[in-house]
Amino acid sequence: MDLLEAIILGIIQGLTEFLPVSSSGHLELAKAIFGDTSVPQESLTFTVVLHAATALSTIVVFRKEIAEIFRGLFQFKWNEEMQFSVKIILSMIPAVVIGLAFEKELESFFGGKILLVGFMLLITAVLLLLADKAKNTNKSVSFKNAVIIGISQAIAMLPGISRSGATISTSVLLGVDRTRAARFSFLMVVPLILGKVAKDILSGDINFQSSEIIPLSAGFIAAFISGLLACTWMIALVKRSKLSYFSLYCAIVGLIAIGYSLFF
């Protein structure tokens, strides 16, 4: 992987991890365009680095909220922070169970499945359009909501289904306040990303080569900076009910991906 390709893929990951357009789907499309010639180990290493970068950007954007949560947890009381943490844990369960039970099956959906990506992007477009037309409320995420949102996050493991799009749309359709929906969506994924990164590193499948340091570093920085911008921008867009623009974008890219896979 050359330097320019690493930077471009890093920017794509950083932007699409937070914008509701599917980071996995766009990375699959980008690899198809570039002609992905990396071996599985190199591809996995680069993916882990990009995910670590977006997790770090989330932590930076929500550093005050995360600090408040930790301060509340150490009070060892059933306070708002403890309840929020339990909701985060509940939201993680579906993705963890499905991810561990069907890891090989999920991996089979990646690697040039452009037709699948196209159809999943169309589903994302429909979800975003429905959420954009939903009425805004002042409700918080309930424990039941957390489980349902967690199920939508698990479904978003498919390339082309936007994780942020699915979880934010599900939250809004359940009647959760838009700003709170975005906050919960972004914070709920941090433990999952860090856990996945730790699992991949501890498994021994990740081996950093000295020749990879520069492209990996460039990809990390690009994903981190673009992630910071996208995360902040997305919170403002959700609050102002601007998801329909992303719905149109996903529909157009999805149709292009379907057409490409069928005729080329």
| CA dihedral (73, 93, 23, 212) positive or negative | positive
Instruction: Dump pLDDT digits (tens) for 207-239.
Output: 667 677 899 999 999 999 999 999 999 988 888
Q: Which of 170, 188, 149 is nearest to 238 (CA)?
A: 170
User: By the 8 A CB rule, do 227 and 57 touch?
Assistant: yes
Q: Which of 41, 27, 4, 7 is nearest to 219 (CA)?
A: 7
pLDDT value of residue 39: 41
Phi, psi of 39 (to 5 degrees): -75, 160
The Cα 30–Cα 17 span in angstroms is: 14
pLDDT value of residue 38: 52
Instruction: Dump pLDDT digits (tens) for 70-85.
Output: 888 888 899 999 999 9
- Residue 139, SS3 per DSSP: strand
Instruction: Dump pLDDT digits (tens) for 147-194.
Output: 999 999 999 999 899 999 999 999 999 999 998 999 999 999 898 888
pLDDT value of residue 143: 96
What's the CA dihedral at 257, 258, 261, 262 to 10 degrees? Answer: -150
Q: Which residues pair with 139 in a beta bridge?
A: 176
pLDDT at 137 over 50: yes
- Residue 75, SS3 per DSSP: coil
| CA dihedral (169, 171, 172, 174) positive or negative | positive
Band of the pLDDT at 120, cuts 50, 70, 90? very high
Q: What is the pTM of this model?
A: 0.87
DSSP 142: P
Chain centre distance of CA 139: 24
The Cα 194–Cα 106 span in angstroms is: 19
The Cα 27–Cα 50 span in angstroms is: 11
Amino acid at 178: R
pLDDT value of residue 42: 55
- Distance from first CA to last CA of the chain, Å, rounded? 25
pLDDT at 28 over 60: yes
pLDDT at 26 over 90: no
Residue with tokens 């991890």: 17
Instruction: Dump pLDDT digits (tens) for 30-71.
Output: 777 777 655 444 566 787 888 899 999 999 999 999 998 888
Residue with tokens 């809004």: 172
Q: What Cα–Cα distance (Å) separates residue 39 from each residue in 2, 45, 53, 79? A: 14, 10, 22, 48
Of the chain, the percentage scoring pLDDT greater than 70 comes to 93
Domain residues of the chain, as ranges?
A: 3-263
